[in-house]
Amino acid sequence: MLNNHLAEEVLGRALSTGGDFAEIFMEDTTSQGIVVLGSNVENASTSRMRGVGIRVYKGFSSVYAYTNDLSRGGLLRCASDAAAAVGEGGAAVDVRLNRSVAANIHPYALLPVDVDGKRKVEALLAMDQAARSVSPEIVQVSASYSGKWQQVQILNSEGLNVSDQRVYVRVRVQAVAANGSENQTGTESPGALKGHEFVDSLDLEQLGKSAGRCAVTMLHADNCPAGQMPVVIDGGFGGVIFHEACGHALEATSVAKGNSVFCGKLGQPIAAKCVSAMDDGTMANEWGSLNIDDEGIPTQRKLLIENGVLKSYMIDRLNARRMSMPSTGSGRRQDYSFAPTSRMTNTFICEGTDDEEEMLRTMGDGLYAKTMGGGSVNPVTGEFNFAVNEAYLVKDGKIDRPVRGATLIGKGSQILWDIDRVGRHMTMAQGMCGSLSGSVPTNVGQPRIRVSRITVGGR
């Protein structure tokens, strides 16, 4: 990690041409990965990445440069490059730093790098074998393990010098079912901001069987009919719709530039009264959590929507300037080669008061979306198109049969108004979210909800 004397010199150099704020982000990350395919180890790797990113502000403008040359000369050259892009002239700047370590509210016990590879492979094989046991129609299973130990130090010209450690672990199992003419897949992929002890706590057999069951069920499913209908969306991955179609539109990355349907709507109703939503980076050991964001600011529990009313946005340091609002600890980046911007952490629709079974019983005919897949979203308009990985037709309030090929089509700002039931039990699922600052771990979540009417695409 950088000592104060060198960091102060580098920050001073970065400000030497008239910048009014400078920041150093330093990271040292060790990553491990293992892939089991066909019950055999396909790949095993360990990598290490070290580098520094230097950012300079001048008013509302920002310049970012990065390097993996961590010598004094390399750091000063990087700072000079950033300063040169800001402008010319300026005067010497004296920076004084105060060293601190972020309070760790996400404890871990076992670093992934300290756990024997055989132990990890055994966990993957347990999921592999469980998935295969579901049916002879399971023709292929892949299982993977990923672990990361990231050490960061963030220093800036306001005197901040804070360091933090982040430990991530995730496993994934995907089963493929086939009948000779087509394939269907099922996937489970839990993860946490935690050590290898997280893997030890999982029911690996259940994860494998769940992936296998989904693949076989969808292999025998009918094609989904198209049309407008009520849809019940389950918890966990169901929250991806809020994340993509609404969450991104509440990030300052969009709001500060006027590229969001929610611009200028603080304090106004934007959803049905039964809808409240959070972004909470403080949840202990959750996949999207952090002690501090990638700008050195403690993460927060942010109430985005309360009983349908927009209460706050997710704001990073630069966009806080542009919006004349404080940062919400939402600045995130993939690694030192990316400048940070506002990003989600653990984003979810809050628990409601409705009975989960009642919302099915009273919906008439419609669709039950058990597990959501990927999709596309226009962040300016909020228009979305999402695949449903596992879906069931509902007839007269009862689950009738599985269907495949279902997609949900709509607009984020409208779907918030069309939610008429919110269940009592919120669950989350883990994913990677891509944006301007790269790919970062995020949780999506919600209780089971009902949308009174939405366009369902089928075959």
For every residue of 33-49, DSSP letters joined together read EEEEETTEEEEEEEEEE
Q: Are residues 328 and 191 in the same domain?
A: no
Phi, psi for residue 95 in degrees, rounded to 5: -115, 135
Mean pLDDT calculated for residue range 58-79: 97
- For the chain, what is the mean pLDDT? 95
Phi, psi for residue 8 in degrees, rounded to 5: -65, -40
Nearest to 394 by CA among 355, 353, 362: 362
Mean pLDDT calculated for residue range 65-93: 91
What pTM was computed for the model? 0.95
Q: Are residues 260 and 407 in the same domain?
A: yes
Nearest to 231 by CA among 18, 406, 435: 406
Residue-level pLDDT at 380: 76
Q: State how beta strands 366-377 and 40-58 pair.
A: unpaired
**Of the given ranges (37-41, 148-152, 240-244), which has the lowest mean pLDDT?**
240-244
Mean pLDDT calculated for residue range 102-106: 93
Nearest to 405 by CA among 386, 424, 423: 386
Mean pLDDT calculated for residue range 338-344: 98
As a whole-number percent, the residues of the chain with pLDDT over 90 amount to 91
Among the candidates 191, 219, 247, a domain finishes at 219
Q: Are residues 18 and 148 in the same domain?
A: yes
Domain count, the chain: 2
Mean pLDDT calculated for residue range 432-456: 96
CA distances from 361 to 46, 232, 388, 399 (A): 51, 11, 21, 9
**Of the given ranges (138-147, 242-251, 312-321, 347-356), which has the lowest mean pLDDT?**
242-251
Q: Are residues 147 and 230 in the same domain?
A: no
Residue-level pLDDT at 94: 85
| 439 and 337 Cβ atoms separated by less than 8 Å | no
Q: Are residues 60 and 187 in the same domain?
A: yes
As a whole-number percent, the residues of the chain with pLDDT over 70 amount to 99
64: enclosing H helix or E strand = strand 61-67
Among the candidates 200, 219, 238, a domain finishes at 219
What is the tens place of the pLDDT at every residue in 249-294? 999 999 999 999 999 999 999 999 999 999 999 999 999 999 999 9
| 346 and 428 Cβ atoms separated by less than 8 Å | yes
Residue-level pLDDT at 200: 97
Reported confidence tier of residue 180, pLDDT bands at 50, 70, 90: confident
Residue 274 belongs to what domain range? 222-457
* CATH classification at residue 26: 3.30.2290.10
Nearest to 262 by CA among 195, 210, 308: 308
Q: Are residues 161 and 291 in the same domain?
A: no
Q: Are residues 122 and 263 in the same domain?
A: no
Residue-level pLDDT at 125: 98
Reported confidence tier of residue 92, pLDDT bands at 50, 70, 90: low
| 394 and 366 Cβ atoms separated by less than 8 Å | yes
Mean pLDDT calculated for residue range 103-120: 95
- Residue 18: pLDDT above 80? yes
| 346 and 211 Cβ atoms separated by less than 8 Å | no
Q: Are residues 210 and 272 in the same domain?
A: no
Mean pLDDT calculated for residue range 139-146: 98
DSSP 390-426: EEEEEETTEEEEEEES-EEEEEHHHHHHHEEEEBS--
4: enclosing H helix or E strand = helix 4-14
Q: Are residues 85 and 231 in the same domain?
A: no
What pairs with residue 71 in β-bridges?
none
Q: Are residues 96 and 210 in the same domain?
A: yes
Q: Are residues 421 and 339 in the same domain?
A: yes
- Residue 30: pLDDT above 70? yes
Q: Are residues 287 and 165 in the same domain?
A: no
Among the candidates 168, 188, 219, a domain finishes at 219
